[in-house]
Amino acid sequence: MSVELKSAPEIDRMRRAGRVVAEILDALEAAVAPGVSTWDLDQLAERLIKEKGAKSAFKGYRGFPAVLCASVNHEVVHGIPSRSRKLVEGDLMKLDFGVSVEGFYGDAARTVPVGKVSEEARRLSEATRESLEAAIAVIQPGKRIGDIGYAVQSHVERLGFSVVRDFVGHGIGRKLHEAPQVPNYGRPGTLESLRPGMVLAVEPMVNAGTAAVDVLDDGWTAVTLDGRLSAHWEHTILVVDGGHEVLTRSPARTTA
């Protein structure tokens, strides 16, 4: 599948989709607290999507039942929100969320501590967020997809963590998942060259222990094989002349 370059009017829609994703993630992050269920967060997200006149990117995608992927602790990605999963102090919550606006998608994820978390949880989330920022920093025309993966992998492995191989980032636009795939590992100077108008969802998933994951019987929830913690951060990023523009950056923040 070839990589689609976006036109100026398409990029405008993607900016709006990215802004909605950031605003709703801000609200979800603020709502994360002990006693709140992952289902409560999904309901809040669904209400805000309607308010903003957007559409869910995830609900109904290959049958996924919710607008939010809510993964806790050893759950890596694609956790299904549940009334019975109430957050408790010390949980490491991953919010993965996407919408479309006028047919164009935005996708982002954040790792949020529930109250006070362990030192390992804090370090893992921070390393993963930094690896996303390191990847964003290399994005400009002429760099390659392998440079992105290398930036993520080299950062987190230096800190003793491991990069999930089974799930990767992706092109995004008229569809939630487009070419090219964007692995969170790789060698500099390899794979597809970045060009202005490309839009990528870069999403490091990083484990405290083994990189190996398994998928639960619900067919969705990916968990670490060793039961140790996992963290996930994601942004949707446009390649522009001389650099990049992060489309899902919160208006309230300067970094992920």
Residues that bind Mg ion (CB under 5 A): 107, 201, 203
Taking a C-beta distance cutoff of 8 angstroms, is the pair 94, 117 a contact? no
Closest approach of Mg ion to the CB of residue 132, in Å? 12
The tokens describing 205, both together, are 């998933």
Closest approach of Mg ion to the CB of residue 234, in Å? 5
Closest approach of Mg ion to the CB of residue 202, in Å? 9
Is 142 exposed, middle or buried (CB count within 10 Å of its CB: 0-12, 13-18, 19+)? exposed
For residues 117 and 239, which CB has a smaller minimum distance to Mg ion in the complex?
239
- Look at residues 235, 187, 184 and name the one whose alpha carbon lies nearest to residue 206: 184
Decide: helix, strand or coil at residue 93: strand
For residues 42 and 203, which CB has a smaller minimum distance to Mg ion in the complex?
203
* Gyration radius (Cα) of the chain, Å: 17
Closest approach of Mg ion to the CB of residue 201, in Å? 4
Closest approach of Mg ion to the CB of residue 6, in Å? 17
Q: How far is CA 175 from CA 8, 11, 244, in A?
A: 17, 13, 20
- Look at residues 169, 45, 136 and name the one whose alpha carbon lies nearest to residue 99: 45
For residues 3 and 201, which CB has a smaller minimum distance to Mg ion in the complex?
201
**Which position has the token pair 């957007």?**
54
Taking a C-beta distance cutoff of 8 angstroms, is the pair 100, 236 a contact? no
For residues 117 and 168, which CB has a smaller minimum distance to Mg ion in the complex?
168
Burial 102-116 (b: 16+ CB within 10 A, else e): eebbbbbbbbbbbee
Provide the sign of the torsion angle of the four alpha carbons 68, 128, 238, 6, taken in this order: negative
The tokens describing 20, both together, are 């909605």
Closest approach of Mg ion to the CB of residue 122, in Å? 24
Closest approach of Mg ion to the CB of residue 249, in Å? 16
- 56 beta partners: 99
For residues 25 and 201, which CB has a smaller minimum distance to Mg ion in the complex?
201
For residues 117 and 125, which CB has a smaller minimum distance to Mg ion in the complex?
125
For residues 63 and 242, which CB has a smaller minimum distance to Mg ion in the complex?
63
